[in-house]
Amino acid sequence: MKILVIRFSSIGDIVLTTPVFRCMKMQMPTAEIHFLTKLSFKAVTEHNPYIHQFHYFNGNLAETISTLKKQQFDVVIDLHKNFRTFRIKQALKAPAYTYQKLSWQKFLLTRLGLNFMPNKHITQRCLDTIAPLGFKDDGKGLDYFITEKDKVQQQDLPIGHRFGFIAIVIGASYYTKKLPVVKLQALCNAINHPIVLVGGKEDTAEGAAIASINPDKIYNACGKFSLHESASIVQQSKLVIAHDTGLLYVACAFHKPVLAIWGGTSPKLGVEPYYGSSLQGGKYTNFIVPNLGCQPCSNFGTKTCPKGHFKCMNNQDVDTIVATAMSLL
């Protein structure tokens, strides 16, 4: 059977789909599994051993469809569900299975504060999509694969961080998903343990501002490493503190204890840390400011706080986060 799986973005959402590839390949070894994603997210799955062939969308949908048609797929698994995937499914004319996106439930939750979301994680909904084909959840959680050449070596880290550190992922795709710098400074200042700040090039300046309060304890790795190398740092850490962003789920794939800090988005959207049924329990703690009627305000985060007060992050209890982190150490 030749199967096409579609998920265009983003890093975290793609990582959350990885049990689908593993379950299909392990339960049907003869299956030829292809994956269609955006070219900009190539790195996320490029080393996944369960994927036979990759296809990348780079803006030209007609060209992508033409390429896919030549493969003559038996089945299409749509884990994105938008207009582009609808056109692809129509063009390929193969039996298609589409995951429940729950768009109206998310709208009611983020716009009106009415929670009709089912108590089911997005990864479970992805696995439900392939259930009609006879595939079952193996309970093993998420996957993320890196090669030996991508692993950060001890000599790449300061001497004081080579015997253990906490990884703090300071980046996120939108403003309302990130703690303000002053809160991150307070968090790092209160943690009595070496810290590595993880983020992309866009987080370099904020990382420098945070590290400046104690350069010996806090190493700013933002912008210095690739995605895979940042994942390696997460893998080598003792625990991970992160916003709602891709490396949060990479940490789960490596079975790391996670402290997840939530602002404009929420676990109520079915996206909390995920370890699979065989590993679930005690691995993560969610930090959400209680009694905020405006939280969550968005599925993905926004560039500014719609209410102007940003209480969901400004009112985060840093002392409780620090106490939880130190207790895990």
Give residue-wise pLDDT tens across range 188-244.
999 999 999 999 999 999 999 999 999 999 999 999 999 999 999 999 999 999 999
The whole-angstrom separation of Cα 279 and Cα 141 is 8
Strand partners, 166: 195, 239
All structural domains of the chain with their residue ranges: 2-133, 148-328
The whole-angstrom separation of Cα 152 and Cα 84 is 37
Enumerate residues 6+ apart whose C-beta is below 8 A from 35.
4, 5, 6, 7, 21, 45, 48, 51, 53, 54, 55
Tokens of 31: 């299956």
Q: Do domains 2-133 and 148-328 have the same CATH topology?
A: yes
Pairing of strands 75-78, 2-6: parallel
DSSP code of 270? Answer: T
Which portions of the chain are predicted below pLDDT 50?
Answer: none
DSSP code of 153? Answer: P
200: alpha, beta or left, given left = phi > 0 and alpha = psi -120 to 50?
beta
For 171-183, what is each residue's pLDDT tens digit?
A: 999 999 999 999 9
Closest CA to 75 of 143, 26, 174, 5: 5
- If you classify domain 148-328 with CATH, what class do you get? alpha beta
The whole-angstrom separation of Cα 213 and Cα 259 is 22
Enumerate residues 6+ apart whose C-beta is below 8 A from 93.
none
The whole-angstrom separation of Cα 135 and Cα 133 is 6
pLDDT at residue 76, rounded to an integer: 98
Tokens of 250: 């990479």
pLDDT at residue 24, rounded to an integer: 98
Residue pair 36/61 in contact (Cβ under 8 Å)? The answer is: no
The superfamily in CATH containing domain 2-133 is Glycogen Phosphorylase B; (3.40.50.2000)
Tokens of 94: 């193969």
Element (H, E) at 108: none
CB-based burial label for 261 (10 Å; 0-12, 13-18, 19+) = buried
Q: At what angle do helices 181-190 and 204-211 cross, to 10 degrees?
A: 40
The whole-angstrom separation of Cα 327 and Cα 329 is 5
